[in-house]
DNA sequence: CTCACAATTCGATATTTGTCAAATTTTATA
DNA sequence: TATAAAATTTGACAAATATCGAATTGTGAG
C-alpha cells in the first residue's frame, strides 16, 4: 500500500503522469513505445523511432512533437536524437512505480 | 504485454480512466478510497464515506460530487447511497487490469 | 553547398475541464 | 410534518488542452 501517505508533490507528479496518458493519441504513442520496449527484452536495443509510429496516428507532426514532450516531461519515456530522427524508450523505473500503485493485497 | 493489440474502444476507455486520475483532487479522492479498501482487507467492510474525505480537500461539495461521478464513470469506484450518505468502494477488477498494463517482463 | 526530410516552435482557435454559487432534491430525525 | 444535513443539478466562467498551418531549425545525402 505505497500510496497511503503521499506528499503533495507526489500527488502533483503522479497526476502529471496520468494526464500524459489521458489523451488517446498520446496513450497510443506510449503503448507503441512500450510494445517495442517489451519486444526487445532480450536484445538490448529498446529504442523506438517516432517517425515510424507517426504513420499509425491521424495527427500531424507538430502535435506528435508536443505529445512526445508531454510523455517526456511526465518521465514516462526517455528520448534521444539519432541523427535526423527521434528515438524513445520507456523509463522502466517509473513504470515499476505505477505498477506498485495498482498492486493490491486483493490479487 | 497485454496492451499490444488494443482496440480503439479500449484505448478510449483507458484514457477515460487515466483522465479520471489526472486531477489532483480526484486522485486524492481515489487514493483515499483505495486506502480504506486495503485497510479493510480482512474485514469485508470496504466502504468509505465520502463526507469524511471531503474535509481533507479544499473544494466544495458540488465539485466533489462531480469528481465522484467521473471516478464512477471511469469504472474506478462503485458508489452506493447509504441513507443520507454516499459510500464508495474500489472496483478491484479494473485495478487489476491497470496493474497488468504496467506489469513488465523487466521486473 | 544545397536539397530534402525530420523535428520543433509559434500563434491561433475550438474544445474541454475544474470550480463555484445558487437552487433543488433526498433522507433522517426532532 | 418541519427542519437540517448531505448530495446533486444547473448555469456560468476562467483556465487548460489538443490540434492545426506556417515558419523555422537541425541533419544527412547527394
Domain ranges of chain B: 8-101
Could you tell me which residue, B45 or B28, shows the higher pLDDT?
B28
B100 CB-side CA count, 13 A = 12
Name the closest residue on chain A to residue B9, using Cα atoms. Answer: A24
Give the pLDDT band of residue A3 (cuts 50, 70, 90): very low
Question: What per-residue confidence (pLDDT) applies to B82?
Answer: 96
Q: What is the mean pLDDT of residues A79-92?
A: 97
What is the pTM (predicted TM-score) of this model? Answer: 0.92
Q: Is the pLDDT of residue B47 over 50?
A: yes
Closest partner residue to B22 (CB to CB) among A3, A15, A98 is: A15
What is the average per-residue pLDDT within B22-46?
86
Query: What pLDDT shows up at residue A4?
Result: 54
Is residue A38 within 8 Å of A92, Cβ to Cβ?
A: no
Residues 6+ apart with CB under 8 A from B107: A96
Task: Tell me the backbone φ, ψ of residue A39, rounded to 5 degrees.
Answer: -60, -40
Which pLDDT belongs to residue A39? 79
Asked if residue A8 lies in contact with residue B31, where contact means CB atoms within 8 angstroms, the answer is no
The DSSP secondary-structure symbol of B23 reads: S
Are A104 and A85 contacting, i.e. CB atoms less than 8 angstroms apart?
no
Q: Are B38 and A14 an interchain contact pair (Cβ–Cβ within 8 Å)? A: no
pLDDT per residue over A22-79, tens digit each? Answer: 999 999 999 999 999 887 765 555 789 999 999 999 999 999 999 999 999 999 999 9
CA distance B19 to A60: 23
Higher pLDDT, A58 or B47: A58
Could you tell me if A99 and B102 are in contact, meaning their C-beta atoms sit under 8 angstroms apart? yes
- The pLDDT assigned to B21 comes to 98
**Which pLDDT does position A44 carry in this prediction?**
59
Q: Is the pLDDT of residue B38 over 90?
A: no
* Grid cell digits, residue A13: 507528479
Chain B residues near residue A22 by CB distance under 8 angstroms:
15-16, 18-19, 21-22
Q: Which residues touch strand D (CB under 7 A)?
A: A 19, 22-26, 58-60, 62-63, 66-67, 70, 81, 83-84; B 49-51, 54, 61-62, 64-66, 68-69, 79, 81, 84-86
pLDDT in tens, A33-45: 999 988 776 555 5
* Residues B37, A106: Cα–Cα separation, whole Å: 9
> Is residue B106 within 8 Å of B65, Cβ to Cβ?
no
In this structure, CATH architecture of domain B8-101: Orthogonal Bundle (1.10)
Q: How far apart are CA B38 and CA B45, in angstroms?
A: 10
Contacts for A75 with CB less than 8 Å, ≥ 6 apart = A13, A17, A91, A94
Q: Which of A3-12, B56-65, B89-98 has the lowest mean pLDDT?
A: A3-12
Amino acid at each position: 500500500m505505497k500510496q497511503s501517505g503521499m506528499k503533495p508533490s507526489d500527488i502533483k507528479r503522479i497526476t502529471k503522469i496520468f494526464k500524459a496518458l489521458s489523451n488517446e493519441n498520446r496513450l497510443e504513442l506510449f503503448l507503441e513505445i512500450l510494445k517495442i520496449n517489451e519486444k526487445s527484452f532480450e536484445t538490448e536495443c529498446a529504442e523506438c523511432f517516432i517517425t515510424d509510429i507517426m504513420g499509425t496516428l491521424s495527427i500531424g507532426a507538430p502535435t506528435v512533437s508536443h505529445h512526445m514532450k508531454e510523455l517526456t516531461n511526465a518521465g514516462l519515456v526517455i528520448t534521444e536524437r539519432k541523427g535526423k530522427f527521434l528515438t524513445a524508450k520507456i523509463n522502466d523505473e517509473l513504470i515499476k512505480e505505477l505498477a506498485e500503485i495498482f498492486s493490491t493485497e486483493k490479487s
